[in-house]
Amino acid sequence: SNFTNKDYERLDKLERKKLNRKSIGRDKELNLTGDKLEPLLMVPRSTETQKKYHINEVVINAFFKLLKERSRKFSKAYINHYSFDSQVANLLIKGSRSEQEVLARYKPDHLRGVHKLFLPLCLSDHWVLFYVDINAKKFSCLDPYQSSGILSFNSKNVDKILQWFKSFLLPEFGYKDANEWPYVERTDIPQQKK
């Protein structure tokens, strides 16, 4: 039989007890404690502000760390890729480190044989993905909400990222023609439905 309203209330109460503030967002494998993953686990109530549940860089970086691990464990099933920490974008955009200092963080082994490079970046509280397809020799910035104009509004920041890849990172790892690779505007990005 279907659940009654009272049944749903009991389930909600039980879930709140199991997922209290002390246990939400803990992950020993990723070395996360406290409420860092809370945005993924909580659903904002209609009376609550949704801003509190925006996904931050800890969640994004944990996701990409899991992608790397999955690719490592199942190398034959997944495309060989490398995911950069979102901190790289922050360092380049803010200019708090030189392009050479950021480049010094990476060893040739990090990028040897990869087919795709991913760099998540947050522009005006909106996450997009800078993407390099090494096999096709092209760059893209993936934004499912292109109508938002985030990429055009932040074009200087995207250009900084693009130039770092073209002038510093890729040539350092043997891609001397990276300056000739095109930047392709993608319009075929799927959107998650609410």
For residue 124, give the CATH number of its domain.
3.40.395.10
On whether residue 7 sits in a domain, the answer given is yes
Instruction: Identify the CA nearest to 102 among candidates 112, 93, 111, 92.
Output: 92
Cβ atoms 183, 139 nearer than 8 A:
yes
Alpha helices (H) along the chain: 5-18, 38-41, 57-73, 86-94, 99-103, 108-111, 150-153, 155-164, 170-172
- For residues 181 and 88, membership in a common domain is answered with yes
Domain around 184: 76-193
Select the more confidently predicted residue: 115 or 151.
115
- For residues 85 and 134, membership in a common domain is answered with yes
Count of structural domains, the chain: 2
Cβ atoms 84, 65 nearer than 8 A:
no
pLDDT at 118 over 60: yes
- For residues 101 and 146, membership in a common domain is answered with yes
Instruction: Dig out the tokens for 64 from the structure.
Output: 């990409």
Note the pTM of the prediction, 2 decimals.
Answer: 0.71
- For residues 103 and 183, membership in a common domain is answered with yes
Mean pLDDT (the chain, rounded)? 78
Name the pLDDT band for 47 (thresholds 50, 70, 90). low
On whether residue 71 sits in a domain, the answer given is no
The predicted-structure confidence for 67-115, as pLDDT tens digits, reads as follows 888 887 887 888 888 888 888 888 888 887 788 888 888 877 778 888 9
- pLDDT, position 52: 57
On whether residue 61 sits in a domain, the answer given is no
- For residues 171 and 118, membership in a common domain is answered with yes
- pLDDT, position 17: 57
Buried b (16+ CB within 10 A) or exposed e, 26-55: eeeebebeebbbbbeebeeeeeeeeeeeee
Name the pLDDT band for 194 (thresholds 50, 70, 90). low
- For residues 10 and 95, membership in a common domain is answered with no
On whether residue 4 sits in a domain, the answer given is yes
- pLDDT, position 26: 45
Select the more confidently predicted residue: 49 or 118.
118
Distance separating alpha carbons of residues 70 and 114, to the nearest angstrom: 14
- For residues 189 and 105, membership in a common domain is answered with yes
- For residues 100 and 29, membership in a common domain is answered with no
On whether residue 68 sits in a domain, the answer given is no
Select the more confidently predicted residue: 178 or 1.
178
pLDDT at 130 over 70: yes
Distance separating alpha carbons of residues 39 and 48, to the nearest angstrom: 13
